[in-house]
Amino acid sequence: MLSRLADNLYWMSRYIERAENTARMLDAQHQASMLPGGTEQALSQWEALLRRSELVDGYQARHPDLTAERILEFMVSDADNPSSIFSCLQAARDNAKAVRVVLAPELWESVNTTWIEMRSLIRTPSWRRDPGKVFEWVKYHSHLFRGVMIGTMLKDEAYFFSRMGTFVERADNTARILDVKYVARETALTDAAGSADYYFWASVLRSVSAFEIYRKVYRDVITPTRIAELLIQRSDMPRSLLACMTELMTNLEQVADPKTSEALRQAGRLRAQIQYLRVDESFEPDIHRFLGNFLKDVNALASRISEEFLVPLVHEQSR
């Protein structure tokens, strides 16, 4: 397969997944901001979201002060922010258009229709009154995209590169969603105790479609350590880091030479590191450091995949 074609397919899926996960992060924070705990705590968590997404400089270049409303607009509809939902869906559509000849008509229509509807959606101010509906809309269309892709694409290299893009991006964003609370704690602006903390963690679980899964697996109170175990190490949790790395390796093995691929070796090491990690009470103080290191490692892995198979430096892919 041509590197350019593989690159477009890989990034088409990454941008769709990034739009969905940005919606998930914003949804968790939007729900948490409505909980008791004070304006200062809510703003600190909004700032932590920007910090963990590496968007503080971009935000400050456009806005003089920190408000939830401006952060929402910056991360949902700002065309000048390359990581906004609007920009991600536009980039996904541009990549899909470049490889339209290898896509099933239904898949192209899914991407194109999502972009057209998003463009119309942000032109009306009404979405700001209930951003939760926008987040659900984005998640729905992301699910639709993946369902159509799995149901229509031949399981060849085009499919494998598309799926690799999905799971690289999902692993990155699951780590960011989980780490927002720890980034906020690091600034010493939030209190780790109290009922508000419980509801924040519940909103995090709901943002990754894991609240009911948590209840089914643990049948107990929500604790940060168990959330970390669920979202890092449970292989049966679809958005856990281990599940993402397993799926990434499964697809990478289909296109890589096991004898020469450094990307495959890096992925294997990272997966083993997660699989054999001990996640218990003693691990909780190290969660933030672990997630920071994981984000560096998965970004290095993505760069290696680009070097081996794709077209490096075409996209503004790093945050």
Q: What's the pLDDT at 80?
A: 92
Q: What is the pLDDT of residue 307?
A: 93
Over residues 70-120, the pLDDT tens digits come to 999 999 999 999 999 999 999 999 999 999 999 999 999 999 999 999 999
Task: Give the model's pLDDT for residue 184.
Answer: 60
CA triple 288-289-290, angle to 5 deg = 90
pLDDT at position 190? 45
CB-based contact 17:111 (threshold 8 Å): no
Tokens of 174: 């699951």
Main-chain phi, psi angles of 279, to 5 degrees:
-105, 100
47's tokens = 């700032």
pLDDT of residue 308: 94
CA angle at 214 for the pair 208 and 215, rounded to the nearest 5°: 130
What local confidence, expressed as pLDDT, does residue 48 receive?
82
105-121 and 131-152 helices cross at what angle (nearest 10)? Answer: 170
pTM above 0.85, yes or no: yes
For 258-290, write each residue's pLDDT tens digit: 888 999 999 999 999 999 999 888 888 889 899
User: Which residue stretches of the chain have pLDDT < 70?
Assistant: 1, 35-41, 183-196, 312-319
Angle at 303 between CA 298 and CA 305, to 5 degrees: 95
d(CA 187, CA 165): 32
- Are 262 and 308 in contact by the 8 Å Cβ rule? The answer is yes
Q: Which residues of 177-207 are buried (b: 16+ CB within 10 A; e: fewer)?
A: bbbbbbbbbeeeebeeeeebbebbbbbbbbb
Cα distance between residue 115 and residue 119, in whole Å: 6
User: Is the CB of residue 184 less than 8 Å from the CB of residue 190?
Assistant: yes
Q: What is the reported pLDDT for 233?
A: 94
- Angstrom CA distances, 211 to 181, 205, 250, stand at 17, 5, 27
Given this model, what pLDDT does residue 195 score? 56
Among 204, 94, 105, residue whose Cα is nearest residue 149: 105
